[in-house]
Amino acid sequence: MVKKDFSIFILLFITVAASAQQADSLRKNSIKPVLEFDQRFYYMEQRWENVWGYREGVLINEKYKAGIGEYYMNQNVTGEPVPKRIIEDVPITQNQKLYFGTLFFEPLLYRREYFETGIVFEGGYGRTVNTFSNSQTNVTLRSYNRYFIPAGAGVSFNLKLPALFGWQAMRWFGIRFVTGYRTTLWQGDTVHNYAGYYWSVSGAVFLDRIFDDIKGRKSENKKANK
C-alpha cells in the first residue's frame, strides 16, 4: 500500500513538474518570501485531530512556492489501539504527540490578484510520542518515542483580501485552504496508522504583497526625488 501511494505521488509530481516547465521566458526572474499558517485537521484511525503548523519559504518567478513546514499535535485520546503488553482491563488514557517537519514544493496552477490555486507536494521527518496511563491513578504504564516519515499531496486555494476601506495593509492578509492525502513511507510505531486525508483552513500573510508594496513605494520616492 505504501509503495502504491508513493508511486502515485511521484507520477503526479512528474506530471505537474513537466507542465510547469512551460514558464514564460519573458518574465523577469524573481524570488519573494512566503509565510503561511497551516492549521490542519488530520484523519487518523477514524477520528479527526487538530495539528498546528506553519510554512515558510520563497515564491519563485510568481509560479512556484518552495520551503519548509513545521507541525505539532498534542492530544489525549481514548478507544485507540494500545500495546499488547498493557493490561486491557485497566482504563487507559493515551496522550499522543506528533512533531514533524516537511519540505514542500507547490507549482501554482492559477494566480490572480485575489485568488490563487496550486498542487502541494511534501515529505519530511517526524517523531511520535505515545504515553499510556492508568486513567484512575494517572500512573504511566508505557511510553515510547518513534520516528515516522510522512509524504503527501494536496490542492491549495488562497483567497487574498483587497485594500478594504483604503487600508493598503489589508491586502497583505487572506485565507488559505488545503485538502489532500498523507501517507507514511516508513514508521517505527507498530501500534498506530498515521496515513489518511487532511484539510486545512487558516489565515495567511502574503509577504510577497508586502515586498511588492515596499518596492513600489521606493520606486515612487525615487521618481518624486528626480
> Does 185 fall in a domain?
yes
How high is the pLDDT of residue 163?
A: 85
How high is the pLDDT of residue 218?
A: 61
> Does 25 fall in a domain?
no
Q: Is the dihedral of CA 162, 164, 167, 169 positive or negative?
A: negative
> Does 174 fall in a domain?
yes
Q: Using one digit for the tens of pLDDT, what is the confidence trace for 151-200?
A: 999 999 999 998 888 788 888 899 999 999 999 999 999 888 889 999 99
The number of folded domains in the chain is: 1
> Does 44 fall in a domain?
yes
> Does 45 fall in a domain?
yes
> Does 28 fall in a domain?
no
How high is the pLDDT of residue 102?
A: 97
Q: Where are the beta strands (DSSP E) in the chain?
A: 31-37, 40-43, 48-60, 64-77, 92-111, 115-134, 140-160, 173-187, 196-205
- Residue 24 is classified by DSSP as -
How high is the pLDDT of residue 219?
A: 62
Q: Is the dihedral of CA 200, 147, 35, 30 positive or negative?
A: negative
> Does 27 fall in a domain?
no
* End-to-end CA separation in angstroms for the chain: 66
Q: What pTM did the predictor assign?
A: 0.76
How high is the pLDDT of residue 176?
A: 92
How high is the pLDDT of residue 79?
A: 67
Q: Which domain holds residue 132?
A: 2-19+33-225
Q: Residue 216: which CATH number?
A: 2.40.160.20
> Does 74 fall in a domain?
yes
Which parts of the chain sit beneath pLDDT 70?
Answer: 1-28, 79-80, 84-85, 87-88, 218-226
